[in-house]
């Protein structure tokens, strides 16, 4: 029978969780990138056809094409933020050796490693529901907050405006 030191096991669990969390962050990053590609492709097709056949209605429809993709990306970003928060918490915990549990008390790395239930540090907690305070978790994973982030507005809003301006010109 192979016996493993409990401290080694706990550290191994955190290492594995870091890998899993990073894979999820990368997955949602890829989904967001693909969503932008699909939005631009469909928008360009609608604008191109609308300009080619001089159809104002198609240009007006093209102005609304970005919205569903904008919402999808906001939802993907919501989930990515939860995973990212967990990654940050683990890295901070390993770097500083301290972790504030749900904003209540500080727990040291030594306490966690010596505790039979891994102390207060929530393992695993991939989406960070138990890592952050409920208020912080809601704020980071709110779809509306992610919808109005400046990068998304700068990307999607011009598509809407350009299509509407082209519709007015025709």
pLDDT digits (tens, 9 = 90+) for 55-65: 999 999 999 99
Q: Is residue 26 part of a domain?
A: yes
Q: Is 1 among the domain residues?
A: no
Average pLDDT in the 142-164 region?
96
- pLDDT above 90 for 35: yes
34 belongs to a structural domain: yes
Phi, psi at 117, each rounded to 5°: -105, 25
- Confirm if 38 and 76 have CB atoms less than 8 A apart: no
Domain range enclosing 125: 6-169
pLDDT at 170 over 50: yes
Write the pLDDT tens digit of every residue in 92-133.
Answer: 777 777 666 555 455 566 666 666 555 555 566 667 777 777
The residue-averaged pLDDT of 46-63 equals 96
Q: How many domains does the chain have?
A: 1
Instruction: Please state, rounded to an integer, the average pLDDT across all residues of the chain.
Output: 84
CA distance linking residue 124 with residue 41, whole number of Å: 39
For residues 41 and 101, the model is more confident at 41
Query: Is the Cα dihedral 74, 77, 79, 82 positive or negative?
Result: negative
CA distance 96 to 114: 17
Mean pLDDT value across residues 136-160: 93
Residue 134: Cβ-neighbour burial (10 angstroms; 0-12, 13-18, 19+): exposed
Inside any domain, residue 18 = yes
Which of 158, 126, 124, 123 is closest to 141 using CA atoms?
126
* 105 in a structural domain: yes
Domain membership flag for residue 48: yes
Closest CA to 24 of 144, 118, 32: 32
Q: CB under 8 Å to 152, separation ≥6 — which residues?
A: 70, 73, 74, 77, 146
């Amino acid at each position: 029978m192979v016996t493993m030191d409990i401290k080694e096991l706990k550290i191994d669990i955190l290492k594995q969780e870091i890998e899993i969390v990073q894979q999820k962050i990368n997955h949602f990053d890829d989904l967001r990138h693909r969503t932008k590609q699909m939005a631009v492709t469909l928008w360009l097709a609608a604008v191109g056809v609308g300009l080619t056949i001089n159809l104002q209605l198609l240009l007006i429809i093209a102005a609304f094409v970005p919205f569903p993709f904008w919402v999808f990306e906001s939802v993907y970003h919501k989930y990515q933020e939860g995973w990212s928060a967990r990654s940050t918490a683990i890295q901070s915990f390993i770097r500083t050796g301290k972790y504030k549990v749900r904003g209540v008390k500080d727990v040291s790395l030594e306490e966690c490693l010596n505790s039979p239930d891994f102390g207060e540090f929530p393992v695993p907690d991939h989406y960070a529901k138990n890592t952050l305070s409920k208020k912080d978790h809601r704020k980071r994973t709110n779809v509306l907050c992610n919808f109005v982030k400046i990068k998304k507005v700068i990307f999607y809003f011009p598509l809407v405006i350009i299509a509407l301006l082209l519709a007015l010109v025709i």
